[in-house]
Amino acid sequence: MTVLLETRHVSKSYGPFRALDDVSISVREGELLTIVGPNGAGKTTLVNLLTGLLQPTAGEVVFLGSSIAGLGPVALAERGLARAFQLIQIFPRLTVGETIAAAIVSVQRKRWRMFSRLAADAAIAGRVRDVAGIFGLENRLAVKSEGLSQGEKKLLDVASALALAPQVLLLDEPTSGVSSGEKHTIMQTLLAAAKKSGVRAIVLVEHDMDLVAAYSDRIVALAEGRVLADLAPEPFFADATVVETVVGQRRRH
């Protein structure tokens, strides 16, 4: 199975504190890899390394065979690795259409001065409609993102990332803040949209063990900056020690 994204013996230190220590993981074609761990396990640091926001102190981060350490999210998006933007938190007064268009503009390297002329750009407008339609947001294009329901906001977050046409998509707790009853509906919508958009693999960072069990092909558990387990769901949840480390420590924090 083709490896699309991987870390090779990656460590990350902040002065004397080592947030990650000799972490090697791989993301393979066609899979949803979930990263779990208690608070302070190193999940955020790992995600920031995978998306080019940080450079490792040691080791390599490799995407499609090339080192991407510290490239940054814009350059990585151009290569085909995207993280949900959460632009709605940055620009809550943009409409749904403008939020998706902002992502398209950024990856197409169009100048921001063109933002006011987006309505006249037929190619961008068509792409916006296509992406919105995948998520059932085609009738919400003129609605400001701040006026959306929490579930719709989560869909828009991922829609803006999928507008970049990524090969690998990173989702960081995509259903946080959403009611329990909506979580599975949103996850199913996200996964169907990713498949329809040609995404080759997904990296999910998640603490909700019901979602982890339901949607993961493989689970990587971090603890104290190291890989505690790298297992398929069945053996992962059969290992009481691993589950207690991931879930139990979170409850004590």
Residues, the chain: 253
Angle subtended at Cα 246 by Cα 175 and Cα 154, rounded to the nearest 5 degrees: 10
Instruction: For residue 144, give the 3-state DSSP assignment.
Output: strand
* Whether the Cβ atoms of residue 26 and residue 213 lie closer than 8 Å to each other: no
Distance CA 37, CA 46 (A): 11
Give the pLDDT confidence score for residue 108 in this predicted structure: 64
Domains annotated on the chain, with CATH: 1-80+166-253 (3.40.50.300), 85-165 (no CATH)
Distance CA 228, CA 14 (A): 21
Q: Which residue do the tokens 């350490």 mark?
A: 69
* Nearest in space to 136 (alpha carbons), one of 185, 81, 93: 185
**188 contacts: CB under 8 Å, gap ≥ 6:** none
User: Token pair of 123, please?
Assistant: 């190619």
* Whether the Cβ atoms of residue 249 and residue 39 lie closer than 8 Å to each other: yes
Give the pLDDT confidence score for residue 251 in this predicted structure: 38
Give the pLDDT confidence score for residue 164 in this predicted structure: 86
CA distances from 138 to 1, 75, 235, 245 (A): 36, 29, 41, 43
**1 contacts: CB under 8 Å, gap ≥ 6:** 28, 29, 30, 31
Give the pairing of strands 201-205 and 168-172.
parallel
* Whether the Cβ atoms of residue 50 and residue 61 lie closer than 8 Å to each other: yes
Q: For residue 3, what is the enclosing H or E element?
A: strand 3-14
* Whether the Cβ atoms of residue 127 and residue 145 lie closer than 8 Å to each other: no
Q: For residue 82, what is the enclosing H or E element?
A: strand 81-83
- Confirm whether pTM is higher than 0.85: yes
Give the pLDDT confidence score for residue 244 in this predicted structure: 93
Q: Which residue do the tokens 């991987």 mark?
A: 6
pLDDT one digit per residue (tens) for the chain, 253 residues: 799 999 999 999 999 999 999 999 999 999 999 999 998 899 999 999 998 889 999 999 999 999 998 888 878 888 999 988 766 777 889 999 999 988 887 766 554 444 555 555 778 888 899 999 999 999 999 999 999 998 999 999 999 999 888 999 999 889 888 888 899 999 999 999 999 999 999 999 999 999 999 999 999 999 999 999 999 999 999 999 999 999 864 433 3
Give the pLDDT confidence score for residue 32 in this predicted structure: 98
Give the pLDDT confidence score for residue 92 in this predicted structure: 85
